[in-house]
Structure 1
Amino acid sequence: MKQFFIKTINTILILLISASFTYARKKQSRTTDPPNIVVIMADDLGFSDLGCYGGEIHTPNLDELAGNGLRFTQFYNCGRCWPTRTSILTGYYAQQVNVDGRRDRFPEWACMLPHHLRQAGYRNYHSGKWHILNMKTQVEEGGFDRSYNNNSGNNHFTAEAHSLDDIPLQPVKVEEGFNSTTNITDYAVDFLREHDQHYKNDPFFLYVAYLTPHFPLHAPQEEIDLYRDRYLGGWEKLRQQRYEKQKELGIDPGENSPFEYFVTAPWSWPDEWLKDSIPGEMRLARPWDQLSDEEKHLHATKMAIHAAMVDRIDREVGRIIDQLEAMGKEKNTLVLFLSDNGASAEQIIRGGGHDRNTPLGASGSYLCLGPGFSTACNTPFRRHKFWTHEGGIATPLIAYWPAGIKDQGGIRNSMGHVIDFLPTFLDMAGVEPLMEKNGNEAPPIPGISLVPIFKQDQPSEREIYFSHHGNYALRQGKWKVVISTDIDGRWQLYNMEEDRTELNNLADDFFRFGDDEWKRENMERLEKMKDRWETLDSLYQAQGKVGLK
């Protein structure tokens, strides 16, 4: 009881101190020619899926952006759809705005990214997925000037639940040629054209949130056929091939982590349920040479569909870049491309179910990538979407800005997180964040500006917090503590400079057995970092409730 009382008092003191501070960055005058900003996000894309991150999938447009911009190797999302999207559009951890953890209404003090950018004269556009759980409207509440919201997650050949500027649209039934990725791009390009026609002298922020390659795995047959036989060698072979290519490309985070065949999403269906609907399906991965021919065909085909979906994203990104060029805006536009979490190990069936008589990848099918090829997609890291090990939270990040990034083809190893987007954009626009709303003062923004990192790598001594459904982590410089719901219930400690792929748990009883002084030093570090995570978690959960009745 005494320990609980002390922690509670400490949390209250930190909360009071935080409330008394405003954003520390020195106030700047508005930039005379603020850059345009385009954020493009894939859904359930693996760290190694893009060609420029080691993948074999055809992604020439994104590879070209990377070749003329930057690739980040230690950039983080929040490990799941809605926390990541919330952090991008608010500049806060999802727990601070009541979207993850102890959920509640959107805080009285919080503003959205468009509200901040409007101070610098930006027009704001959104096309694609939303998934901010406590905010239902993109224009009225979210502050966007135009928004196309596609919430049709159960079929990529339809748009059953979608809206334009907060007004519901008629459902689009399955039609030949309709594809959610192209549909989202169509609206994004239309918004850009409208901007060029009516507001060409104003800067703009465009947020494009694709629904793919999230399940169900859907793609036109001719696009699947491009990758039909590519993956019959299996997931272990693909993982090793991607790892070797990563090293050739200068992305070398250390040793390739071994396959974890026992891991899948906790909510994945049991084997018997899956096999009843999808012949050859399985809840857990196994060594590829132990699979039957039926199982190999199914899983290689699923990976081919995933590849086709990524390939389509790349082509649609090319359309957006072409439109920027047509407007004469490409040079002074920052384009960021990333994923909301790692590739997914989920094995479930939703929506209208799976029709076993339908070709795999067609509208009547419902397939998930599954843990085998998800492990390959997240090369070289451990785990998947949902976890706070690196496979769940490490994202590729491409930054392209011809007028502002001179190190073309450069690699950045500095740590970053999606909470950094807001301070980065405000730094570029030359305005301060809105720190008060409805009579309630906002807490300090937890992120930092990436602008100095665009110039060169910076020391990474910062602190980054992670929390999602029982999976917790904290980075402090080179150190990381992490705990998962499915291992042994104990915190683990890793030196990320020496062991980015989290192979050597320094808190393991048998690691450097007999070196008592070394063990004591690292156990003290683990306990301090664990306590720090608990303090931050209590603080962030409390901040979201300020002003709520």
Structure 2
Amino acid sequence: MFRLVAVCACLVGICSSADAASRPNVLLIMADDLGYSDLGCYGSEIQTPNLDQLATNGLKFTQFYNTARCWPTRAALVTGYYAQQVGRDKLPGGGGGGGNRNARPKWARLLPDMLRPAGYRSYHSGKWHIDGMPIAAGFDRSYLLKDQGRFFNPTKHWEDDQPLPPVKKESGFYGTIAIADHAIKCLKEHQADHADKPFFHYLAFTAPHFPLHALPEDIAKYRDRYLEGWEAVRDQRHQRQKNSGLLDVSLSAVENDLGPPYHFPDHLKILGDAEVNRPVGWETLTPVQKRFQATKMAIHAAMIDRVDQEIGRVLSQLKSMSAFEDTLIFFLSDNGASAEIMVRDDGHDPDAPMGSAATYLCLGPGWSTTCNTPFRRHKTWVHEGGISTPLIMHWPTGIQAKGELRHGSGHVIDIVPTILDVCGADRLSEWKGTPVPAPPGKSLRPAFEEDSTIKRDDLWWFHDGHKAIRQGDWKLVAAKDEPWELYDLSNDRAEQNNLAATHAQRVTEMAAKWEALGAEFRATYESAE
């Protein structure tokens, strides 16, 4: 649609307005705590037909990375910088950036400020977890759902930066549906009032992040599906990944002694004996524990199923306004599946139906290990299970490849340069007189055409004391207070064969580069303080 408008405009000599009209729309969809294998097209048994169809008619990336946690990923996603560069996660050695409550430097603008000169309107629906507020940060419309602990009755949410009243209990509200409703509302308004302009829409679902809250009809679809246990489901997912050609990767060994990243013994008492905080053998569980754990996974599956259903509604709206063909769609997750177990917000009533508003359940390490198939570890860790995400890209007008895989490595810092490249927008070189540092990401646009490795710099991670660096196929990684491990990801993405002892020089060199990049990111941030 927009390209047709552009041609007509140029014919009558008003190419300046046509430049904006010829640019594609962008729909950036992010899920929360979704594991690498949680989509049907990435090996799952969960029904995700809408996302699967986007993958069938677009691209799937096999080696795309996030930052292992929600707020640093979101900072990188919409600024194009590592979170440490913009003060949105802690720096090695302390000081400087302070994490999820820290403010970005004024030069660290979000995508709307970069796209506005190219004629774009920008919309936000869902989770935020960035400093400031969406409208103040450049979005034209926003629905911000901050209260992630209450899918059915949130108490903290905003529309266009204005607080909304708490949602009453048993009102029929469900967060995933409400987020999609707002996205559809924005798209309808755009079609009615701004059809001559392209749009950028950031659609950030809060699911399947804990607490495990889902609609009863969605849970019913999966209620007994997981009684066979986490090992069996993990093996099935791995086999599907291999059979589909997605991955030729061995299955990582289960770390039976590795539990949640943060221990809350009092919370375990609230949850009772049916809760299990280690990925122990399924057959060692009691019948009560098996049913409890299987139902938790059924709720997780239901939450993902519902996300896919709501994405389907958004896609239908795009089609109804003749915008689907020329909308570049991204789908990805902010980190790996979570091994966390805790009780917050309204607490947990063990007598209430599991998945209802009165319950507070988390996935835990047994099922998190399965959801991150075939990789090792979970959210917060920077081993592959914590930082690997599905990435689907779909754009009928601009991506001719259909159902193809892309094996080159990428990172959320690449999303901004890709969008700017596709949309014909320039990165900011200064902001109100302040120079803007060069961003570290690379445009993924060459991958639209072929499965070739994009020339890039090293990829770097640091979160909660965990650290890693990737150079080509070599990855150096260390959990908090543990020694460096070295892996050749070309044949060991499961991170099972630690080569640190036999490649000591490489370890030294890569560790030094990790330190140097950390110092560089500190300088980027502190120069603006």
Q: Of 429, 433, 452, which aligns to 1:435?
A: 429
1:172 correspondence with 2:161: no
Q: Of 321, 324, 333, which aligns to 2:327?
A: 333
Deviation at residue 42 of structure 1 after TM alignment:
0.6
Q: Deviations over 1:462-489 (max 9, x none)?
A: 3111111101111111111001016xx1
* Contact 1:269–1:283 (CA under 8 A) maintained in structure 2: no
Q: Of 443, 449, 457, which aligns to 1:455?
A: 449
* Contact 2:20–2:119 (CA under 8 A) maintained in structure 1: no
> 2:505: which partner in 1?
524
Deviation at residue 461 of structure 1 after TM alignment:
5.2
1:145 correspondence with 2:143: no
Find the aligned partners of 1:530 and 1:388 in 2 and give their Cα distance.
Answer: 15
Find the aligned partners of 1:342 and 1:175 in 2 and give their Cα distance.
Answer: 31
> 1:388: which partner in 2?
382
Deviation at residue 32 of structure 1 after TM alignment:
6.2
* Counterpart secondary structure, 2:253: coil
For residues 460 and 431 of structure 1, do their structure 2 counterparts lie closer, same or farther at Cα, with a shift above 3 Å needed?
A: closer
Find the aligned partners of 1:308 and 1:252 in 2 and give their Cα distance.
Answer: 25
Q: Deviations over 1:328-347 (max 9, x none)?
A: 01111001111000000001
* Counterpart secondary structure, 1:432: coil
Q: How does 1:59-458 map to 2 (within 5 A)?
A: 59-101=48-90, 102-103=97-98, 104-132=102-130, 135-140=131-136, 142-270=137-265, 273-458=267-452
* Contact 1:278–1:354 (CA under 8 A) maintained in structure 2: no
Find the aligned partners of 2:510 and 2:296 in 1 and give their Cα distance.
Answer: 40
Deviation at residue 273 of structure 1 after TM alignment:
4.0
Q: Deviations over 1:104-148 (max 9, x none)?
A: 43213221110000110000000000001xx221111x1001111
* Contact 2:277–2:366 (CA under 8 A) maintained in structure 1: no
Find the aligned partners of 2:491 and 2:254 in 1 and give their Cα distance.
Answer: 20
Q: Report percent identity of matched pairs.
A: 50
Q: Deviations over 1:134-170 (max 9, x none)?
A: x221111x10011110001111111210001111111
1:502 correspondence with 2:495: yes
One-letter amino acid of the structure 2 residue matched with residue 466 of structure 1: W
Q: Deviations over 1:265-314 (max 9, x none)?
A: 331322x6414433411222211010001110110000000000000000
Q: Deviations over 1:214-259 (max 9, x none)?
A: 0000112221111011001111111000000011111124111111
Find the aligned partners of 1:429 and 1:300 in 2 and give their Cα distance.
Answer: 45
Find the aligned partners of 1:173 and 1:527 in 2 and give their Cα distance.
Answer: 57
Q: Of 35, 54, 61, which aligns to 1:46?
A: 35
* Counterpart secondary structure, 1:227: coil
Find the aligned partners of 1:38 and 1:244 in 2 and give their Cα distance.
Answer: 31
Find the aligned partners of 2:314 and 2:477 in 1 and give their Cα distance.
Answer: 38
Find the aligned partners of 2:424 and 2:107 in 1 and give their Cα distance.
Answer: 22
* Contact 1:30–1:431 (CA under 8 A) maintained in structure 2: no
**Mind listing any 5+ residue stretches in structure 1 that lack a counterpart?**
1-28, 510-518
Deviation at residue 432 of structure 1 after TM alignment:
1.5
Identify which range, 151-160 or 359-368, moves more after superposition: 151-160
One-letter amino acid of the structure 2 residue matched with residue 366 of structure 1: Y
Find the aligned partners of 1:385 and 1:273 in 2 and give their Cα distance.
Answer: 20
* Contact 1:229–1:300 (CA under 8 A) maintained in structure 2: yes
Deviation at residue 541 of structure 1 after TM alignment:
1.7
Structure 1 runs (4+) greater than 6 angstroms displaced = none
One-letter amino acid of the structure 1 residue matched with residue 407 of structure 2: N
Find the aligned partners of 2:467 and 2:497 in 1 and give their Cα distance.
Answer: 18
> 2:524: which partner in 1?
543
One-letter amino acid of the structure 1 residue matched with residue 499 of structure 2: L
Deviation at residue 359 of structure 1 after TM alignment:
0.8
Deviation at residue 458 of structure 1 after TM alignment:
2.1
> 2:465: which partner in 1?
470
One-letter amino acid of the structure 2 residue matched with residue 66 of structure 1: A
* Counterpart secondary structure, 2:252: coil
* Contact 1:107–1:546 (CA under 8 A) maintained in structure 2: no
Identify which range, 539-548 or 365-374, moves more after superposition: 539-548
> 2:486: which partner in 1?
493
Find the aligned partners of 2:463 and 2:437 in 1 and give their Cα distance.
Answer: 21
* Counterpart secondary structure, 2:526: coil
For residues 541 and 253 of structure 1, do their structure 2 counterparts lie closer, same or farther at Cα, with a shift above 3 Å needed?
A: farther
Deviation at residue 501 of structure 1 after TM alignment:
1.2
Deviation at residue 174 of structure 1 after TM alignment:
1.9
Aligned residues: 502
> 2:94: which partner in 1?
none
> 1:21: which partner in 2?
none
One-letter amino acid of the structure 2 residue matched with residue 137 of structure 1: M
For residues 217 and 91 of structure 1, do their structure 2 counterparts lie closer, same or farther at Cα, with a shift above 3 Å needed?
A: same
> 2:45: which partner in 1?
56
Find the aligned partners of 2:55 and 2:271 in 1 and give their Cα distance.
Answer: 41
> 2:11: which partner in 1?
none
Find the aligned partners of 1:523 and 1:385 in 2 and give their Cα distance.
Answer: 28
CA root-mean-square deviation: 1.4
Find the aligned partners of 1:353 and 1:501 in 2 and give their Cα distance.
Answer: 36
> 1:480: which partner in 2?
475
One-letter amino acid of the structure 2 residue matched with residue 98 of structure 1: G
* Counterpart secondary structure, 2:512: helix
Q: Deviations over 1:78-101 (max 9, x none)?
A: 110000100011010100000101
